[in-house]
Amino acid sequence: MIGLSSYAGVMENLTNSAEEQRPSSLVIHVLSPSQKSGSVGGFVLVHAGAGYHSESKAKEYKYACKRACQRAVDQLKAGALAVEAVAAALVELEDSPFTNAGMGSNLNLSGEIECDASIMDGRSLQFGAVGAISGIRNPVLVANRLLTEAQKGKLSAGRIPPCFLVGRGAHEWAVGHGIAPCPSENMATKFSLSAYKRNKRKMELAEKTGQGSKQAKKIRQSSVTENGPGSLDTVGAVVVDLEGNVAAGVSSGGLAMKHPGRVGQAANYGCGCWAENSCNLNPFSTAVSTSGSPFLASEERVLGGVIVLRCCRCVEAEPTPNIQGILVEFLWSHTTESMCVGYMSAQDSKAKTHISRLPPGTVPGQSLAIEGGVCRLMAAAE
Catalytically active residues are: 234
Dist CA 76 CA 187 (whole Å): 29
Q: Which helix (H) or strand (E) holds 30?
A: strand 26-30
Backbone φ/ψ region at 142: left (φ over 0), alpha (ψ -120 to 50), beta: alpha
User: How many CA atoms within 13 Å lie on the side-chain side of 161?
Assistant: 19
φ and ψ of 196, to 5 deg: -65, -45
**DSSP-assigned beta bridge partners for residue 249:** 119, 237
Strands ordered across the beta sheet of 42-51: 164-166, 127-133, 115-121, 246-252, 235-241, 42-51, 338-345, 352-357
Helices (H), the chain: 7-21, 58-77, 82-95, 139-150, 167-176, 190-209, 212-222
Please give the full DSSP string across 329-349, using - where no structure is assigned.
Answer: EEEEEESSSEEEEEEEETT-S
| Closest of 302, 281, 277 to residue 290, by C-alpha | 302
Exposed, middle or buried, 359 (CB in 10 Å: 0-12/13-18/19+)? exposed
Residue type for position 78: A
Instruction: Give the other-Cβ count within 10 Å of 321's Cβ.
Output: 6
CA angle 192/198/202 to nearest 5° reads: 140
Do 206 and 212 form a contact (C-beta atoms < 8 A)?
yes
Q: For the chain, what is the radius of gyration of the CA atoms? A: 20
Dist CA 323 CA 31 (whole Å): 12
